[in-house]
């Protein structure tokens, strides 16, 4: 008889160079259930799933059971053969291969010495149909957007007959509409009796898709619950180990003084006729589906995407911004969405990364004033609660959320007049998210104009004084914080 559990992990520990990322963790996943794995940044979630996926080998004493049978997972391919597939955040498929090839590669049933393309295409089509995706399997993967690539990765997992599909923060790069599609696919998987282990920092989503939850804290197992039986506040307390209060902070005073005015900005194929203003002390939120032009506008203001026409007016004066250097000179800072590519030097220390944008300030006669450098890095690791509090650690070894905090710190250190943040808390845990929202509000209260771009509607509602909603390159609606609801915003973003 099949076991009630598809996976049981017991006594899982994992040490990296003396640091215990996991310390005697257990996890039980029932067949066909959607199980959420939660914990603060650095709690060990990604490490735990990498053990399950055969990427990390656990320390001695670990016990892994699949379908009730004790087993050892030797490597990633071994995990896949045993029915465990992982969809990583960066997808990690092959951009230059077709969809069909990406789905079938490594699949013993069709990937043989002599490839039968009809068979391969048929298997790919079948898998795509199961997730309800209308994607041509002959297309190259790189021609799909991230959301569709993720769907291909799920189709791949299905074609391997996985009984457990693991998703590490799958919605962190998706827009509201795409998130809905993913939820539907998860529903389909559940109906097929395929279990899903779901890592997320978004509480609305956890309650929406999962039926059970396991909490990790500081590399340890805390507890597992039926989500119907545990309140949100309690779950946060279990994650953080203390009570956390989330007050949305109101603006202290938004001055009448306009700091930025964008006038009829156009860029063919990106955005059209964009006009809005930002006042000192104000936080303007911009939301809309991915691809609606939000990030392109941010880049235009920061000199990374030169518009065809229109004006940018800073404190009453029209300015010309042709490069990021121009923007920085005018006191504009920009936190990019794609931090791995645009924001961080993985091999360099937290300290070096944090001070990268203020090198001018900390350099004297061509030498770095290390005292100043350390002081700045200490200040922002402290403020943003970067863990571990070790400014000499290479950034690449921090957990995803903590890397995020370093990029944010880097730009906050520049003391900007205008701060544009694209998805500032993507991948950041609830405690740190609250801290980042507070920091943004404090910056605004100091007189900085802040633009926050976010796909996460609860975040937009929590931080913004005014909300601009984009659809296909146009601002289709502007709402004041008062009276704005998630439903109303989503309807506009979808073009209703
Ligand atoms: N390859 C590695 N070398 C050294 N330390 C590592 C490595 N991978 C992870 N760690 C450490 O292990 C701990 C757990 O990291 P992990 O990535 O599992 O956290 P997480 O719960 O996934 O966090 P997040 O929500 O930020 O993604 C962290 O302290 C991290 O710095
Ligand atoms: Mg992680």
Measured CA to CA, the distance from residue 313 to residue 369 in angstroms comes to: 36
| Same CATH fold assignment for domains 5-240 and 258-493 | yes
Neighbouring residues of 458: CB distance < 8 A, sequence distance ≥ 6: 202, 204, 486
Residue 43 near ligand 1, beta carbon < 6 Å: yes
For residue 44, the ligand 1 atom closest to its alpha carbon is 18
Instruction: Show me where the domains of the chain are located.
Output: 5-240, 258-493
pLDDT per residue of the chain (496 residues) written in tens, 0 to 9: 578 999 999 999 999 988 899 999 999 999 999 999 999 888 999 999 999 999 999 999 999 999 999 999 999 999 999 999 998 876 678 889 999 999 988 887 778 777 788 888 889 999 999 888 888 999 999 888 878 888 899 999 888 889 999 999 888 777 767 788 899 999 999 999 999 999 998 888 999 999 999 999 989 999 999 999 999 889 988 988 876 666 666 777 777 889 999 999 999 989 999 999 999 999 999 998 777 888 899 999 999 999 999 999 999 999 999 999 899 899 999 988 766 656 788 899 999 999 998 888 898 888 989 999 999 999 999 988 888 899 999 998 888 778 888 988 888 888 889 999 998 888 788 877 887 888 889 889 989 999 999 988 888 999 999 999 999 899 999 999 888 888 888 888 888 7
pTM score, whole prediction:
0.77
Superfamily name with CATH number, domain 5-240 = P-loop containing nucleotide triphosphate hydrolases (3.40.50.300)
Residue nearest to atom 11 of ligand 1 (CA): 21
Residue 202 structure tokens: 């978004």
Q: What is the architecture of the domain spanning 258-493? A: 3-Layer(aba) Sandwich (3.40)
Residue 42 near ligand 1, beta carbon < 6 Å: yes
Residue nearest to atom 27 of ligand 1 (CA): 400
Measured CA to CA, the distance from residue 12 to residue 496 in angstroms comes to: 49
Neighbouring residues of 16: CB distance < 8 A, sequence distance ≥ 6: 397
Give one word for 91, left, alpha or beta, with left for phi > 0 and alpha for psi -120 to 50: left
For residue 40, the ligand 1 atom closest to its alpha carbon is 25
Tokens 């257990």 belong to which residue?
26
């Amino acid at each position: 008889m099949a076991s009630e559990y598809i996976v049981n992990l017991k006594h899982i520990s994992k040490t990296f160079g003396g640091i215990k990322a996991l310390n005697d963790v257990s996890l039980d996943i029932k067949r066909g259930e959607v199980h959420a794995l939660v914990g603060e940044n650095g709690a060990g979630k990604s490490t735990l799933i990498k053990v399950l996926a055969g990427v990390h080998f656990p320390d001695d004493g670990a016990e892994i059971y699949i379908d009730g049978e004790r087993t050892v997972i030797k490597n990633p391919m071994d995990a896949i053969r045993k029915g465990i597939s992982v969809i990583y955040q960066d997808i990690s498929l092959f951009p230059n291969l077709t969809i069909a090839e990406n789905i079938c590669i490594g699949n013993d049933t069709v990937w043989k010495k002599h490839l039968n393309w009809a068979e391969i295409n048929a298997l790919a089509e079948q898998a795509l149909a199961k997730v309800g995706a209308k994607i041509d399997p002959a297309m190259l993967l790189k021609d799909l957007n991230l959301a569709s690539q993720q769907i291909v990765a799920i189709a791949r997992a299905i074609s391997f007959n996985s009984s457990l599909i693991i998703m590490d923060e799958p919605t962190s790069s998706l827009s509201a509409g795409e998130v809905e599609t993913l939820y539907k696919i998860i529903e389909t998987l559940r109906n097929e009796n395929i279990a899903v282990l779901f890592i997320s920092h978004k509480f609305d989503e956890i309650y929406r898709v999962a039926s059970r939850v396991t909490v990790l804290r500081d590399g340890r197992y805390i507890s597992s619950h039926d989500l119907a039986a545990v309140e949100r506040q309690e779950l946060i307390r279990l994650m953080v180990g203390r009570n956390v209060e989330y007050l949305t902070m109101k603006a202290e005073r938004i001055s009448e003084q306009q700091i930025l005015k964008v006038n009829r900005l156009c860029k063919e194929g990106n955005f059209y006729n964009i006009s809005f203003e930002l006042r000192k002390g104000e936080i303007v939120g911009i939301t809309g589906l991915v691809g609606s032009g939000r990030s392109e506008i941010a880049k235009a203001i920061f000199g990374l995407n030169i518009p065809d026409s229109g004006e940018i007016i800073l404190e009453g004066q029209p300015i010309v911004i042709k490069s990021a250097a121009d923007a920085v000179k005018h006191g504009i800072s920009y936190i990019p969405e794609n931090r791995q590519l645009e924001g961080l030097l993985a091999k360099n220390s937290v300290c070096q990364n944090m001070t990268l944008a203020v090198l001018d300030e900390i350099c004297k006669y061509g030498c770095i004033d290390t005292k100043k450098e350390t002081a700045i890095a200490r200040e922002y690791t402290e403020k943003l609660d970067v863990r571990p509090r070790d400014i000499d650690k290479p950034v690449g070894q921090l957990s995803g959320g903590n890397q995020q905090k370093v990029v944010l710190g880097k730009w906050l250190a520049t003391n900007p007049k205008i701060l544009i943040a694209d998805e500032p808390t993507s991948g950041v845990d609830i405690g740190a998210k609250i801290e980042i929202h507070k920091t943004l509000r404090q910056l605004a209260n100091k007189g900085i104009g802040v633009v926050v771009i976010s796909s996460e509607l609860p975040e937009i509602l929590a931080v913004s004084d005014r909300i601009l909603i984009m659809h296909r390159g146009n601002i289709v609606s502007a709402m004041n914080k008062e009276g704005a609801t998630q439903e109303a915003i989503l309807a506009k973003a979808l073009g209703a």
